Amino acid sequence: MNSRFFLPALLLFILTFSTYAFPQQKEKQDVIDVNLTKCLDRKENQTTAGMCTCTYNALQEWDKKLNASYKSLLPKLNASAKASLVSAQRQWVLFKEKEISLIDATYGKAEGSMWQVVRANKVLSLTKQRTLELESLLQTLPQL
């Protein structure tokens, strides 16, 4: 068989098979994301300022949720795990600050107001991802 055609055919087969064999479960959207979408869908928020306001409001909500998850997690851990979590969270805060500096140094220099929205989404994504990681740990903890 000609290898030029074999690899693409194999990849197509794998992608097709995996779609049917392992159907994607529809992920339940968090209420923060639902509210963000509703905010962004409002006509008055379809400007750069409106999109940024919606996104930064959602960021504040994710930050509150992150702090609540962190505070809920601490008392459920033994001393060693608690120390690890505190250390990891401090390191994550430093990482987030450095990542935001990088975002500002790159997207902040780009021309066009759309980059303000991109920046807002990237900062939101950092906080949301960490929150989901802490929530996952919190949900998994009773099973450990």
Q: Please write the tens of the pLDDT for every residue from 44-76.
A: 999 999 999 999 999 999 999 999 999 999 999
Cβ pair 50, 44 in contact under 8 A: yes
Q: Please write the tens of the pLDDT for every residue from 109-120.
A: 788 888 999 999
Can you tell me the distance from the alpha carbon of 48 to that of 60, in angstroms, rounded to the nearest whole number? Answer: 18
Number of structural domains found in the chain: 1
Q: Minimal CA–CA distance to 37: which of 18, 57, 22?
A: 57
With respect to residue 22, please indicate whether it lies within any of the assigned structural domains.
Answer: no
Could you list the residue range(s) of the whole structural domain that residue 52 is in? Answer: 29-143
With respect to residue 104, please indicate whether it lies within any of the assigned structural domains.
Answer: yes
pTM: 0.77
Residue 126's CATH number: 1.20.1270
Burial class of 55 by CB neighbour count within 10 A (0 to 12, 13 to 18, 19+): buried
